[in-house]
Structure 1
C-alpha cells in the first residue's frame, strides 16, 4: 500500500487505524469506484463487506451488535472510505445518521427492532429530510403525519435521498399536528413508492431517489422521540453527525487527489523533465498537502470535542466541514489542472473526484449556510 502523505497530524495509534481502514478501501472499494460511478449504482456486496468488517455499526452500542467506535475512529473510517469512493462514503454517512438517531432517541423496543439489523448490514438506512421545496430551510417541510387510531397516516414527498433507491429503512420527518416529528419507516410499508434520481453530477453511485408517501400507514411505535421532537433534537443531532462524516470524507477525497497528483506529476514528462520538477506544479501540490493536513486537524479537533461533549463541538464541526469541503473542491480542481486532458477523461479518477468534491460543498449544509452559521457561532468578543 502506498504510504499516506500528510499524516503528521495523527498519533501513531490513529495512523494505524487509518492504515487499517485504507487497506480495506484499497482492496474492496477504490479499484471499482470509476466503474460504479459510470453505472450509477453500488453493488450490495460492498455494503455487506463493510458490515462484516464492523463498519456499518460504528455508532451502534455493542449490545445491539454494533462496533461502538470512538468518534475519532469513526472519522478516520470516513476519511479512508472517502479516499476510495465518495458515493460509498455518502451511504455510510446517511446510514450512520439513522443509526445515531435510533441509538440516541429510540425506545428499548425500537432499538431492539432496528439496530441489530442496521449493524449487521441486513438493513441499510437512509435519511429523508429534504423535499422538492425544502432543503436548507427544513422548517418548510410539507410532508404530514396524521394520527389515526394506532397509526399515523403519512403523506408527502422526499427528494434527493441518498441511497433511497435501495435503503431498507428511512428516517422520515413530517409535520404532526403542526409539530415536526421523526418516524422510522420500513421500505415495504404500503403507500411508499420510490422513484430513482439517476445521472446526478457527483456521487453518482449513491443511488439517490425521490420518495412518495401516499396515505402510508405507519404504526405509532414508529415515531422516534416525542411529537414535535423531530427538527431540533432528532434531525439536529443526526445532521451534526452527517456534517462530521462529510468533513472527514472531504479530507479523504482531498487525500486521494494529492496522491493522484503526486503519482501523475512524477510519471508524466514535459519539456524533458517530470512535471513534478516544474515549480508551479510544486506550488499546487504544496497547497494540496497543506489543505489536507489543516482539514484533518480541524476534523480531529471536532472529534475530540464531540467525544468530550463540549459545547464548542458544534462550531468545530461546522468549521471542519466548511474548510474540508471547500478545500477538497479546490484540491480536486487543481488535480484536474495538473493532469490536463487526462484529468478530464472518464478513464481516470480526477474528473470523478472533482464532481464529487462539488457535492461536498452542498450536502449537510451548503457552503453559504455554513458561512452564515459559523459567524453566528463565534463567541462575542469581550
Structure 2
C-alpha cells in the first residue's frame, strides 16, 4: 500500500507541493496566525498549483491523480499552515457537492471559477442551538414560485469572511436541503470571528440569512436529501482534516528532531536523553500510523468502496488525537521556547486542538466507530 501511495503522489508532483510549502507557505503561517487573516496573494499561489480544484477528476478540471495524492497534498499543506489547509478543506467540500449533485446551471456558473480559485467556497452547517445536528436545524428555506427564501444564523463558518459561494444547509417542509448561495446575494450579513484558539488565519465568520432569495438552480440535489448529501460532503471534510493532522504530526516531529539535535541539557544533546527519545519515538510512530490510515481511506475511495466512510472516521479520530498529543509533547520538549510565538510548536498545539472538534468531534467519531464495530464484529476490510 505504501509503495502505491507514494507512486500516486509522485505522479502528481510531491516535490513541487513540498517545495511550495517549505519556501512559500510555512514561512508565512505565523504571520497569518497573528493577523487572523491570510494575504490574498496566497490564493493565486494555490491556484497556480491546481490546489483549489484538486478534489475533482481531470475531466471536471481537477488533477485526476486520485485520493491518495489528494491526501498527501492536504498533508503537505497542513504541515505548513493549518489555516490554509482549513480554507482548502471547506472549499473542496463545496466544490465536491457542486460537482456531484449540483444543477447544470449551477455547475456552469460556479465550477470553473471554483477550480481556478477565482471563487472560494465555504460550508455553512453549524448553528447556535443545533450545532451540526440535522434534526434540530433552525435555518429554513421556503419555496416561493421559482425561488427559495433562506432564513437562518450560521456559526463558525471557516472562510466565511472570504467566501464567494456558500454551501448552506436548511430545513424545508420535506426535510433538510442543501443550497449553493452567492455570498453577494441581498439578505446576507457576515461578521468576522477572530477570538478563536487555532487556525486563526482561516477567517471564520458568523453568517446571517434574512429573506435571502436564491434561484431554483441553487438547490443541491432534491429537497429533503440534505442528510444524505451531508454524509458525502462531510466525508471529504473529515478526510482532509485527517490528512492535515498527519501534516501537523510531521511538523511536530520535524521541530522536535531539530530541537533535540541542537539543544544541550546536562552536558548532552536532548536526543541522548531516554525520555526525549520516547517522546520522539511516539510521535514518529503515530505519524506513520496516521498516514497509513489516511491512505487506506484514500484507496477505498478510489475503489468506490462504501467502507471508505468508516475508514475516514477512524483516520480522523486517530490522527486528530495523535496530533494533539504530539503537539503537546513538542511544546513540552521545547520548554519555555514552546510557549513563545518565536517557535511554531505552540501554534501546532492550538491548531491540533481545533482538529479534534471540526468536521465531527473525536467523541462523535468514537460513537460511529463503536457502532460500526458492533455491527461488523468479524468482518475485515480488504483495501486491495
Relative to the length of structure 2, the TM-score reads 0.94
Corresponding residue of 2:149 = 153
Q: 1: CA distance between counterparts of 2:45 and 2:213?
A: 33
Corresponding residue of 2:257 = 262
Structure 1's consecutive aligned runs of 4 or more residues displaced over 6 angstroms after TM superposition are none
Cα deviation for residue 27 of structure 1 reads: 1.7
Corresponding residue of 1:72 = 68
Distance 1:14 1:150, change over 3 A: closer
Q: 2: CA distance between counterparts of 1:312 and 1:208?
A: 32
Q: Could you list the runs of 5+ residues in structure 1 that have no partner in the other structure?
A: 1-6
Output aligned runs, 1:1-382, within 5 Å: 11-12=6-7, 14=9, 17-232=13-228, 234-378=229-373, 379-381=375-377
Cα deviation for residue 151 of structure 1 reads: 1.1
Cα deviation for residue 185 of structure 1 reads: 0.6
**Residues 223-251 of structure 1: CA deviation (Å, up to 9, x unaligned):** 1111111122x211000000000000000
Distance 1:269 1:73, change over 3 A: same
Q: 1: CA distance between counterparts of 2:270 and 2:116?
A: 47
RMSD between superposed Cα atoms in Å? 1.5
| 3-state SS in 1 of match to 2:209 | strand
Corresponding residue of 2:382 = none
Cα deviation for residue 311 of structure 1 reads: 2.0
Cα deviation for residue 12 of structure 1 reads: 4.8
Q: 2: CA distance between counterparts of 1:73 and 1:329?
A: 24
Q: 2: CA distance between counterparts of 1:51 and 1:11?
A: 23
| 3-state SS in 2 of match to 1:42 | coil
Q: 1: CA distance between counterparts of 2:7 and 2:145?
A: 57
Cα deviation for residue 13 of structure 1 reads: 5.1
Cα deviation for residue 109 of structure 1 reads: 2.0
Q: Could you list the runs of 5+ residues in structure 2 that have no partner in the other structure?
A: 379-384
| 3-state SS in 2 of match to 1:37 | helix
Aligned length: 375
Cα deviation for residue 178 of structure 1 reads: 4.2
Cα deviation for residue 381 of structure 1 reads: 3.0
